[in-house]
Amino acid sequence: MRPPSSSAPRRPAIPRASRAGRCLLVVSASMGAGHDTVAAELVRRARERGDDALIVDVLALLPYGLGGALRRFYRGSVRHFPWVYAVLYRLFLRPGAGRRPGGTPLARLAGGRLRELAERSGADVVVPVFHLGAQLTGHLRARGLLPVPSVVLVIDFAVHRQWLHPGNDHHLCLTEQAAREVRESTGGSAWTCGPVVAPEFLADPATADTSAPSPPGVAGWRELFDRTGPGRPAVVLSAGAWGVGTHLEATVRILTDHGFLPVVLCGDNERLRRELSGTPDVVPLGWVTDMPGLLHAARALIDNAAGQTAVQALAAGLPVVGYRPIPGHGADGVRRMAALGVSDLAEDGTALLGALRRLTAPGRARRDRIAAGHALFTDDAVARVTALVDAERAHPVRPSAHP
């Protein structure tokens, strides 16, 4: 059988499923925890609607152990050599004009395995929530090798180049500005759906204790805060799943010296947690299973990556302040959040303290910031995905169409 030529259909018709529901194949990546958290919530929502869904890790699809090596390299870079990642981000990811290397050559190594999984699972749509997955599905769709549509869920506020492959059918974005940038770059369709978070984050704090997936719940967290630092506003300091950040200990000192109670999310960084343990007026935490309760109980979040913890905080009505962001997509995302008016960006310790004093105190500044964050949650991503699939089932795009 000869390989597909350039005249192969770019949008093969979608076979009609014999079942009433649809099957979503979500392409995630075990880079930290944010992508997998979004993927798990998509699966939960799909099954709640009567559809089916499953998750695949694009790193596990790469041969020769490349996925694990890529994860270790990225983790080591952002933790120990952030300048290395900053350089790579400028070369491969940062938006801008000019022809530069892309991620498709690496992603295409996983093509055969993804196609096999899509066929075996009976998937009606493939939904990448990681940019390397978007490069893979775009490559396959552009060559007629993936017979079902791809709907990319862009989970970053700042859309970098690797999210953008014109072969993909649709993009769903956090904001209309991001969707507009995708349309201008790819020429394809892009819609706004807002961030994807579990319903517990959006629950009313008064009922959050009963909806919390595990102890301690809002009351338990508040009791811990009052016991550790009586009278101090609790401020969550996020360092991601890997406990990565710039001068975290210095930020902790700034907070404690000026009357705040830093609640440090150390992730799996046991060294950081041990170093902070025993420090007066500090709550160092390892892996937290009750993030909804924690965020409902705190007064603000200090964020360095504009990732999933930041959007969970916005959902929970917790003001966000960006400070000392990690390089690359973290810095771009933190700046974009501030430009959208859903967070503050503190350039130094003085600005950080000013923002926290303003946003942790009751008043209009806090209310306005909470309202701006809640306004992002405009639609249900799974409802958008299934609506797009149903539309293409009813009216398959002709082979001559281009995304």
Give the domains, in start order, of the chain with CATH numbers.
23-194+378-394 (3.40.50.10090), 199-374 (3.40.50.2000)
| CB contact at 8 A, 322 and 344 | yes
N residues, the chain = 403
306: left (phi over 0), alpha (psi -120 to 50) or beta: left
Cα 235 to Cα 242: distance, rounded to the nearest angstrom: 19
CB environment 196-235: b (16+ within 10 A), e (fewer): bbbebbbbeeeebbebbeeebbbebbbebbeeebeebbbb
The predicted-structure confidence for 19-60, as pLDDT tens digits, reads as follows 458 999 999 998 878 899 999 999 999 999 999 999 999 999
Residue 16 pLDDT class (50, 70, 90 cuts): very low
Q: Which of 310, 323, 313, 318 is nearest to 350 (CA)?
A: 323
Angle between the N-to-C axes of helices 34-48 and 381-394, in degrees from 0 to 180, rounded to the nearest 10: 60
| Per-residue model confidence (pLDDT) at position 6 | 30
- The chain-wide mean pLDDT, for the chain, equals 85
The predicted-structure confidence for 252-297, as pLDDT tens digits, reads as follows 999 999 999 999 999 888 888 999 998 999 999 998 999 999 999 9
Per-residue pLDDT at 91 exceeds 60: yes
Q: Taking residues 313-319, what's their average pLDDT?
A: 97
Q: How many CB atoms lie within 10 A of CB 189?
A: 16
Cα 259 to Cα 229: distance, rounded to the nearest angstrom: 9
- Of 11-20, 35-44, 84-93, 390-399, which one has max mean pLDDT? 35-44
Q: Taking residues 343-372, what's their average pLDDT?
A: 96
The predicted-structure confidence for 199-236, as pLDDT tens digits, reads as follows 999 987 665 554 555 678 899 999 999 999 999 999 99
Q: Taking residues 392-399, what's their average pLDDT?
A: 62
Per-residue pLDDT at 398 exceeds 70: no
Per-residue pLDDT at 197 exceeds 90: yes
Cα 220 to Cα 40: distance, rounded to the nearest angstrom: 26
Tokens (6 digits) for 247: 């001068």
Radius of gyration (C-alpha) of the chain in whole angstroms: 22
Name which residue leads in pLDDT, 329 or 374: 374
Q: Which of 262, 247, 267, 283 is nearest to 353 (CA)?
A: 262
Name which residue leads in pLDDT, 107 or 400: 107
CB environment 275-288: b (16+ within 10 A), e (fewer): bbeeeebbbbbeeb
Per-residue pLDDT at 352 exceeds 60: yes
